[in-house]
């Protein structure tokens, strides 16, 4: 229990600040009395100080009268307090000492009560200057104060109002977020782009769903961080995959909360200065959240003697530089395996874990995305009057997560249908079956190959669908997505490409990252526009175009999703891209049997086209699937306009129209029956 003059005061941070504030006012009286004569004259000159003196008298009734006595009694009181006292923590970790603490609190008088600004204005004799200057503080606290003041400015605890003035005329004020933390109040983020998580809100390490190997390593990290052997811990991995949760659990083991900081990518950002002191005052570990593209790096000027460890959240890409990283350690969190995904589904949906095995197998999502999707899917099922969550509910729920961000770069395509809708030859169908198998087993493939190959087999699948327009490449992509039960998004080149340097690469990286996180299939139509061969550098445009190609080559290497690329100009694709393809499916114009199957599947069931004529059209008219589709649509439109079913004459007219559009001659014999057609 505290003893001495303040033994009866509450053992709280707010009371500690209040007693320290009174000590500062006592020092202010001592600075003003030589010019005024007595404390009564000081009160006459500045009447509001009388109220503070009256408030301090009950506290000092046991003999605490001078600032030195206040300080001695305060140190005796705080030595017995076991709870966190921000001012004491700042003093113990280095930012403050006895002199700098007195200076800092004196500067903060105006922030606590604006009337103190009248005192500074009067003493300094400068109208409107209600902040203390370095000259005034040096005259009050001696020459040693000058060095301490510049040190506090360098640490960010003091900020200069008028940097254009001579240095001794610099007016200073305290850093507001640190001042608020020292006051012991419930702190709301005073810094832009920050979020404070108190220690009691963080999950304990034993409740995290992580691999046993990582759990064993994580159990050792708090001691290494507490001993200072690890100054910065970098956690890499996909978004929403428990990176911040892991850092929070480690902070909890250290008795710390977490101060998350976003958008801190520039070393000259003023927030860097105060992160260490603010973390000490808040008893929180700063965690910098970054999202970097391949080849992108940032300089982080972290002071490893800040008194608290630093956490950094990164994706799979990007690098770090700057001072203070000679004692950093990196931990990587991969997407959870099937067993871990099952635990995430069970944590939200409840019931028996086996009930959610289908969801764990069918959706390769991050832990955070699973939990968000599960909650939304559960609500969707409840709205439909069902208790069980289906894969359809989960897919609908996952579409709402980050959908706006993905919709800005890609368009979702419908994926209904089955393989009977695609008329291709046996070679193409075999290649598509192999591609489907590669997609189905992409998560387990590495476990079934030799050790020398397994480390180079990722979870991504990259396939090139090549062939003339209208041969079924896009339809095959839709059917493959439907077969795998995932959404298909077509990348929009107009949204990806930017005239600003580096923006195109960032857009492509963002689209691929979102596809990985949401487990959706991407379709890059007319991919030769992006995958063109690199050229000789004759001007800046060539140089930047080659940079974009190099970036995409590197990003495809690490892509963990399914990417389908279609092209009708295979010869215009860089050979380096071709080597990186896991599958190449060459679509060819359909032969007569395939064309007949397409005609049959596209025509309405009530059509009256003569079967012999339909076979003649399929045999003689060398049309692609896209052209057949257009011809059928035109036939149906003519039938609707004529008020009769689709028949041979209408079909012939539509076929001749397709040939005219292509600039060719229709090989069908001219029909002379009475069913003359019109267009």
Percentage of the chain beyond pLDDT 90 is: 40
**Cα distances (angstroms) measured from residue 234 to each of 208, 216, 331:** 18, 17, 6
Residue range 337-380, pLDDT digits in tens: 888 999 999 999 888 777 788 888 888 888 998 999 899 998 88
pLDDT at 223: 93
Structure tokens at 101: 């603490």
Residue range 630-648, pLDDT digits in tens: 999 999 999 999 999 999 9
The Cα 660–Cα 620 span in angstroms is 16
Asked which of 117-126, 134-143, 187-196, 557-566 is least confident by mean pLDDT, the reply is: 187-196
pLDDT at 634: 93
CA proximity to 250, closest of 226, 272, 228, 268: 226
Residue range 91-139, pLDDT digits in tens: 998 899 999 999 999 999 999 999 999 999 999 988 889 999 999 999 9
Residue range 433-456, pLDDT digits in tens: 999 999 888 888 767 666 656 555
pLDDT at 187: 61
Angle at 556 between CA 232 and CA 564, to 5 degrees: 140
User: What are the start-end ranges of the E strands in 300-389?
Assistant: 310-314, 319-321, 328-332
> Do β-strands 232-236 and 562-567 pair in parallel, antiparallel, or remain unpaired?
unpaired
The Cα 488–Cα 477 span in angstroms is 8
The Cα 263–Cα 269 span in angstroms is 10
Domains in the chain, ordered, with CATH? 13-182 (no CATH), 194-332 (3.40.50), 340-386 (no CATH), 419-586 (3.40.50.300), 592-662 (1.10.8.60)
Per-residue pLDDT band for 678 (boundaries 50, 70, 90) equals: very low
Per-residue pLDDT band for 670 (boundaries 50, 70, 90) equals: low
Per-residue pLDDT band for 55 (boundaries 50, 70, 90) equals: confident
pLDDT at 677: 42
DSSP track, 524-570: ETTGGGTSPPP---SSHHHHHHHHHHHHHHHHHHH--SEEEEEES-G
Q: Is 127 exposed, middle or buried (0-12, 13-18, 19+ CB in 10 A)?
A: exposed
Residues 155/156/158/160 CA torsion (nearest 10 deg): 120
Structure tokens at 32: 């003003």
> Do β-strands 461-466 and 172-174 pair in parallel, antiparallel, or remain unpaired?
unpaired
CA proximity to 308, closest of 152, 89, 156, 150: 89
Angle at 257 between CA 256 and CA 262, to 5 degrees: 130
Q: What is the mean pLDDT of residues 143-169?
A: 93
Percentage of the chain beyond pLDDT 70 is: 90
Residue range 590-629, pLDDT digits in tens: 889 988 988 998 999 889 999 999 999 999 998 888 889 9
Asked which of 13-27, 97-111, 241-255, 663-677 is least confident by mean pLDDT, the reply is: 663-677
**Sheet harboring 310-314: ordered strands across?**
194-197, 257-262, 284-289, 310-314, 232-236, 328-332
The Cα 398–Cα 487 span in angstroms is 10
Crossing angle, helix 611-620 and helix 592-602, to 10 degrees?
130
């Amino acid at each position: 229990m505290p003893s001495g003059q303040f033994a009866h005061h509450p053992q709280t941070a707010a009371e500690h600040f209040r007693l320290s504030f009174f000590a500062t006012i006592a020092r202010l009286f001592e600075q003003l009395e030589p010019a005024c004569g007595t404390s009564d004259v000081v009160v006459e000159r500045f009447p509001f100080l009388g109220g503070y003196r009256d408030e301090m008298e009950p506290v000092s009734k046991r003999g605490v009268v001078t600032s030195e006595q206040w300080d001695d009694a305060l140190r005796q009181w705080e030595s017995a307090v076991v709870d966190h006292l921000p001012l004491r923590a700042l003093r113990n970790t280095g930012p403050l000492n006895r002199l700098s603490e007195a200076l800092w609190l004196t500067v903060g008088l105006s922030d606590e009560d604006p009337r103190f600004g009248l005192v500074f204005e009067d003493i300094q004799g400068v109208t409107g200057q209600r902040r203390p200057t370095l000259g005034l503080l040096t005259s009050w606290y001696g020459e040693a104060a000058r060095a301490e003041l510049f040190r506090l400015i360098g640490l960010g605890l003091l900020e200069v109002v008028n940097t254009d003035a001579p240095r001794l005329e610099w007016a200073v004020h305290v850093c507001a977020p640190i001042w608020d933390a020292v006051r012991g109040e419930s702190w709301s983020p005073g810094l832009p782009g920050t979020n404070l998580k108190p220690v009691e809100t963080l999950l304990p390490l034993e409740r995290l769903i992580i691999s046993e190997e990582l759990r064993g390593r994580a159990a050792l990290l708090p001691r290494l961080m507490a001993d200072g052997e690890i100054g910065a811990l970098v956690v890499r991995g996909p978004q929403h995959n428990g990176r911040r949760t892991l850092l929070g659990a480690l902070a909890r083991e250290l008795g710390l909360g977490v101060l998350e900081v976003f958008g801190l990518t520039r070393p000259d950002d003023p927030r860097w200065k105060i992160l260490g002191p603010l973390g000490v005052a808040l008893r929180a570990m700063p965690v910098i959240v970054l999202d970097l593209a391949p080849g992108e790096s940032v300089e982080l000027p972290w002071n490893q003697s800040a008194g608290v460890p630093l956490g950094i959240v990164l994706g799979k890409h990007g690098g770090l530089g700057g001072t203070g990283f000679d004692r950093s350690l990196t931990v990587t969190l991969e997407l959870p395996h099937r067993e871990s995904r099952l635990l995430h589904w069970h944590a939200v949906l409840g019931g028996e874990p086996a009930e959610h095995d289908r969801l764990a197998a069918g959706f390769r999502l991050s832990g955070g995305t699973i939990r968000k999707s599960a909650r939304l899917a559960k609500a969707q099922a409840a709205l439909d009057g069902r208790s069980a969550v289906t894969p359809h509910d989960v897919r609908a729920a996952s579409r709402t997560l980050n959908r706006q961000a993905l919709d800005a770069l890609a368009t979702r395509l419908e994926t209904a249908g089955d393989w009977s809708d695609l008329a291709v030859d046996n070679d193409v169908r075999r290649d598509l079956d192999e591609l489907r198998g590669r997609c189905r087993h992409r998560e387990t493939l590495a476990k079934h190959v030799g050790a020398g190959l397994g480390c180079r087999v990722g979870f991504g699948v990259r396939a090139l669908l090549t062939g003339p327009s209208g041969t079924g490449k896009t339809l095959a992509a839709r059917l493959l997505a439907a077969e795998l039960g995932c959404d298909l998004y077509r990348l929009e080149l107009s949204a990806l490409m930017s005239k600003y340097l580096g923006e195109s690469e960032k857009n492509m990286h963002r689209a691929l990252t979102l596809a990985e996180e949401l487990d959706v299939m991407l379709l890059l139509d007319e991919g030769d526009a992006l995958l063109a061969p690199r050229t000789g550098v004759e001007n800046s445009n060539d140089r930047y175009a080659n940079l974009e190609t190099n970036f995409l080559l590197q990003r495809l290497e690490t892509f963990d999703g399914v990417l389908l690329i279609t092209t009708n100009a295979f010869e215009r694709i860089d050979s380096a891209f071709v080597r990186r393809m896991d599958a190449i499916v060459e679509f060819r114009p359909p032969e007569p049997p395939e064309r007949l199957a397409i005609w049959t599947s596209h025509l309405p069931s009530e059509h009256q086209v003569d079967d012999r004529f339909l076979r003649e059209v399929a045999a003689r008219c060398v049309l692609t699937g896209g052209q057949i589709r257009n011809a059928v649509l035109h036939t149906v439109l003519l039938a609707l306009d004529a008020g009769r079913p689709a028949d041979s004459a209408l079909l012939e007219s539509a076929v001749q129209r397709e040939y005219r559009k292509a600039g060719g001659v229709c090989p069908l014999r001219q029909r002379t029956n009475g069913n003359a057609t019109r267009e």
